[in-house]
Structure 1
Amino acid sequence: MGPSHLATATPTAHRSTKRMGDATVRSDLSKADIDASFEMVTRLISETAHDLRSPLTTIREAVRLVRDGDLGRVSRQQHECLSAAIEQCNCAGQMVDEMVQSRRFETGFGNIRRSWVSIDEIRHQVESTLQPWALPREISLLWDGPFGQDLMIYADPGLLRRLLVNLANNAVRVTAPKHAVLIRAHRYSNSQILNWSVVDQGCGISPNDLELIASGKAPTQSVGGLGLLICRQLAAAHFSKLRIESRVGTGTAVSFQTPMGGPSAVAVNFAAWRTQLTMPVQTPKTEPDEMVYEVTPLTSRSVHRSARPESIAAPRRVRIDVPSQAVDLGVGNVTPVHPHHMCLTTVALGAAVPNAAVDQFETLLHQSMRITEMAYRTGDRTWVIVFDADAQSALARRQSVERMVENEMQPVRTRWGKGIVISSAIRDELAIKLSSMLADMIVRQTLLDDQQSPSDPNTDFDGKAVTAESIIPSSRLQREVAYLRGY
């Protein structure tokens, strides 16, 4: 009976295993179908949002013509109604831009152009963009930080402006009329980081919603969502997390960091941010100490009731409490392909390559970079590259960049440096090695480029493009030849 029982049990177990295997296959296929459907929906949203830009712009400009009286006189109530319609068109335009860019940042930052820019330039761009949202509600935009000191940071001006505008626009929405929103740039002593904060005086975010935001789920109130996803990606483009601090009934502060102080700061910030991608998701924590911002505005203008104000006069002093609940948000479910390895190398273009081709090459180079990689321009034609690769895959990453360049532009002469692979199973040790060796390579390459500094044959001595042929060089050459021949 025993053998007979075993004989009948074996086929049964086999059939059970087969059924489980079929279920596993069906489950895998179902997951693949879900991923494909999600990809299709994401692409559809992005393409549809792109098509909405033109009609939305047409509607906004048509309403603006009517409001400004170009098609006839309008009453005060009509003017206010049309202004509100324009404001809603601006909000809709911002949401369309967010939907378009949400897909662009999934695999990398193809349009990013990091460089050393002044924070005063960033402030001017943000102020001019935020006026349509702040002026109708008489909300003051307060700036606190080392402005007017020619302080330079390493950032993409367009992406940084968009990040600050998104955060400040959200702050304006939740702030009561005739109140203030603070944009603060704080430089810590003995630090190579500039900490940006956008602080509002709204109702705050509940601890439950902060937990949902930290876990990547949609909160119960209208915070987070696609706008928060875009802000997290824009902060990641500057090697930073997005920190949200909030207290119910007081307000919310959202902050991020940008490198300052030179190439070594870029190396340290990138290394720290890259190694933090392997850390688990952080849960909200309580900040026990209460801090108070005492802000005195730089300037203030009187506002005439009969005329539309150009800027809203800021109050003399604003008290803003730093909230007690805090959570740090990364770029999302993004982890390095090789968490314990990085490859450093350089690439340079030949001196005969024109400037237009150099710019095109840099664009393609950034498009080929993963989120966990970086290309730092050290000279007119040289870059230091950090590949997310080990010793075996480093060559494949380089070849993929070369293939993209060959397919997208005319042949150019490139010279690749020797790759250096950095490895460590300890996260902190890898960050120290990466920051030290990357800073050394950037500084050395920058000094070497300054010594060589080849000139572009298609430009004059001032670096400007030559627009017309000149007979002066040929006439000088003819005179020299005639002198050498003796006649």
Structure 2
Amino acid sequence: MSSRHDAVLQQTLGDVQRPLRGVRETVRQVRAGELGTLSLRQAECLDEVLRQCDGLEQLIRQAYPDDADDLDIPAVRRRWVATSDVRRSIESALPQCLPDGTEVLWDGGTDPSHRVFGDPDVLAALMIHLITRSALVSRGRHPVLVRLNHSDDGDCQQWSVIDRGPGLSADQLQQFVESDARDGDSFSQGLMLCRQLAGMHFSPLTIISDANVGTETGLNIPASGPRSVAKAWCEWRLQYRPPSVAPRRTHAIRPQKTSANSVRHITRLDRPRAAQPTSRGTNRVQLNWNDIRPRSPHQVIAGTVTLGATCSKQLATRLDDLFHERLSPFDFVYRIGDRQWVWVFDASIDQMEERWERLNESVRQQVPEARLDWSDPQIIPVDQRRMTSRISDLLVRQTLSSQTDLRHFDHNQVRLGTKPLEPSPVAMARLDEEMLRMGARLRKQTQSLRSHASRMRPKER
């Protein structure tokens, strides 16, 4: 748990340091008189703010001396969690984050049977950040709506936060896509954090805004079993696939006659504009990770790993924590039951040996009593057709196989620590009484059938 806490602390320090730099730079510009002349009292107040910012910067560097901009994505522990549990954790933290007088309305999230695949802590942090931003934009004049509804195909659950603020134009949204948020204002830096948290759930951060009307910000989370998880991850991973360029022809091409019904396909090499108007005055943009790229852009490696049957459940939990701590941003691990995992690594076949060696070395050091059985790796190309079908097939087959194995159990087996089964005279007496009752009933039915048969038999002449 210490490594988990260290990773969360490092990420929190980085999230605090980046907005702090923006605040200090803004205060410095005001103090320099770029926005107008200041009185003596105002200048002294701004000097005190600058000293406090410098003190916070020094405390952050003492706690974590490395550059906070080099922090990787923190460890994420995705699992199936009820939406009602996530909502309760969000509601318990909102009073300390929202301005006074802010009203938050919920549309959904009360049914405990609805579950999503994600990290409840990360998801709650993302929604709290979006709700707080919307509350600041609304300035208490309008309530903030949190909407949780399923997508049209039912595979994902859409989590969105809607405000009635000033909204964003298409040019502003496009700046968020093209510019580096680390050098922007606090709003851009907040979006950088939100897009990272959304990417941990295999989804881009979607912003739909209408100037002078409001903004809707949200993400899609897998909510319909292992197939939805595979589909969401593959669609999200395909967005980072490098563009394919057709080979150039060196020989002359004869012109061909085209009919009126023929369609000409043109390969676009330029980057399409991300902010697209959905209706009059409404703009839509999807924000992905812009500073992180896959290590293996053209293929992934997938397989399964099984823990030995003699290992305890506590050992399986420790191993699950270790797997998640060693994941890179484009890896994911799906736990099946208590002792099996499906893994998909962002690595080529040449990089896989090194990944295995490092992971097995970590297992030997931290969980030496674990006995692991690794399956043969599958090399899966990164394309729309093969990657989605193969990863979905792997997750669904392993899940169904695990459920089938659980159905075949021995009623004479007991859990560890309980007394062995012993013969009971009460149960034997009840069984004898039931056998006698069933025997008498069968004899009565036999006699009844014989009497019916004799009446139906034709009489002899």
Separation in structure 2 between the aligned mates of residue 131 and residue 190 of structure 1, nearest angstrom: 35
Give, in angstroms, the shift of residue 385 of structure 1: 0.5
Residues 1:443 and 2:396 are matched in the alignment? yes
Which of the two has higher C-alpha Rg?
2
Separation in structure 1 between the aligned mates of residue 378 and residue 12 of structure 2, nearest angstrom: 44
The one-letter amino acid of 1:130's match is: L
**Which of the residues 321, 328, 344 maps onto 1:363?**
321
> Which residue does the alignment assign to 2:77?
113
Q: Is the 8 A contact 1:341 1:390 kept in 2?
A: yes
> Which residue does the alignment assign to 1:346?
304
Separation in structure 2 between the aligned mates of residue 155 and residue 104 of structure 1, nearest angstrom: 25
The one-letter amino acid of 1:272's match is: E
Residues 1:203 and 2:161 are matched in the alignment? no
1:288–1:414 Cα change, 3 Å = closer
Separation in structure 1 between the aligned mates of residue 138 and residue 222 of structure 2, nearest angstrom: 30
The one-letter amino acid of 1:405's match is: V
Runs of 4+ in structure 1 deviating by more than 6 angstroms, as ranges, are none
Q: Is the 8 A contact 1:278 1:335 kept in 2?
A: no
Separation in structure 1 between the aligned mates of residue 115 and residue 321 of structure 2, nearest angstrom: 23
Separation in structure 2 between the aligned mates of residue 267 and residue 47 of structure 1, nearest angstrom: 27
Q: Is the 8 A contact 2:305 2:341 kept in 1?
A: yes
**Scaled by the length of structure 2, what TM-score is found?**
0.65
The one-letter amino acid of 1:372's match is: F
Q: Is the 8 A contact 2:163 2:215 kept in 1?
A: yes
**Which of the residues 196, 218, 230 maps onto 1:255?**
218
> Which residue does the alignment assign to 1:188?
151
Q: Which blocks of at least 5 consecutive residues in structure 2 are unaligned?
A: 1-6, 17-55, 244-270, 423-461
**Which of the residues 255, 259, 275 maps onto 1:285?**
275
> Which residue does the alignment assign to 1:128?
92
Give, in angstroms, the shift of residue 208 of structure 1: 4.0
Give, in angstroms, the shift of residue 341 of structure 1: 0.8
The one-letter amino acid of 2:387's match is: L
> Which residue does the alignment assign to 1:432?
385
Q: Is the 8 A contact 1:246 1:324 kept in 2?
A: yes
Matches of residues 311-326 of structure 1 in structure 2 within 5 Å? Answer: 324-326=282-284
Separation in structure 2 between the aligned mates of residue 401 and residue 364 of structure 1, nearest angstrom: 9
Q: Is the 8 A contact 2:333 2:342 kept in 1?
A: yes
Deviations 1:239-271 (A, max 9, x none): 001112223322222111101111000000001
Give, in angstroms, the shift of residue 178 of structure 1: 4.4
Give, in angstroms, the shift of residue 234 of structure 1: 1.0
**Scaled by the length of structure 1, what TM-score is found?**
0.62
Separation in structure 1 between the aligned mates of residue 337 and residue 388 of structure 2, nearest angstrom: 20
1:107–1:434 Cα change, 3 Å = farther
Separation in structure 2 between the aligned mates of residue 441 and residue 48 of structure 1, nearest angstrom: 36
Q: Which blocks of at least 5 consecutive residues in structure 1 are unaligned?
A: 1-42, 53-91, 291-322, 425-429, 477-487
Give, in angstroms, the shift of residue 121 of structure 1: 1.8
Q: Is the 8 A contact 2:11 2:74 kept in 1?
A: no
Give, in angstroms, the shift of residue 228 of structure 1: 2.1
Deviations 1:10-51 (A, max 9, x none): xxxxxxxxxxxxxxxxxxxxxxxxxxxxxxxxx9x949949x
> Which residue does the alignment assign to 1:484?
none
1:451–1:186 Cα change, 3 Å = closer
The one-letter amino acid of 2:302's match is: L
Q: Is the 8 A contact 1:336 1:372 kept in 2?
A: yes
Separation in structure 2 between the aligned mates of residue 345 and residue 103 of structure 1, nearest angstrom: 34
> Which residue does the alignment assign to 2:239?
276
Separation in structure 2 between the aligned mates of residue 376 and residue 194 of structure 1, nearest angstrom: 19
> Which residue does the alignment assign to 1:137?
100
**Which of the residues 402, 419, 433 maps onto 2:377?**
419
Residues 1:150 and 2:113 are matched in the alignment? yes
Separation in structure 2 between the aligned mates of residue 167 and residue 442 of structure 1, nearest angstrom: 32
SS at match of 1:393: helix
Residues 1:405 and 2:396 are matched in the alignment? no
> Which residue does the alignment assign to 1:319?
none
